[in-house]
Amino acid sequence: MPTAFNVIATLIAKPGQHATLEALLRDLLEPTRLEAGCERYDLHQDLQHPETFYMLERWSDDAALADHDKSAHIQRFRAKAADVIEHFELKRLKFLA
């Protein structure tokens, strides 16, 4: 039986590029929220470090996240964001309580 899980994606913009990265991340919200299996996809910005963004996500199963990873809008994002991202990290989390 598929198990839903949460994801935290951390993206840090290169110096002077946080506005560009924010715009690119905002462009992902609508198409991703319409994807099958996407239960949550919320963008946050660190108040103390405005170059740092967090995408808080919830996926119904591994297949849904894999499909998201292959989607046209994620592929476009990667191509456009390659020059503005300094660091990217994805953590998959199991909800406990």
Domain boundaries, the chain: 5-93
pTM attached to this predicted model: 0.93
Q: Residue 96 corresponds to which tokens in the numbers above? A: 């406990």
d(CA 7, CA 55): 8
CATH of domain 5-93: 3.30.70.100
Evaluate whether 57 touches 4 at the Cβ level (below 8 Å).
no
Q: In terms of DSSP bridges, do strands 52-59 and 38-45 run parallel, antiparallel, or are they unpaired? A: antiparallel
Instruction: Going residue by residue through the chain, which has 97 residues, state the pLDDT in tens, using 9 for 90 and above.
Output: 668 999 999 999 999 999 999 999 999 999 999 999 999 999 999 999 999 999 999 999 999 999 999 999 999 999 999 999 999 999 999 888 8
Q: How many other CB atoms are there within 10 angstroms of residue 24's CB atom? A: 20
Q: Residue 42 corresponds to which tokens in the numbers above? A: 């919320």
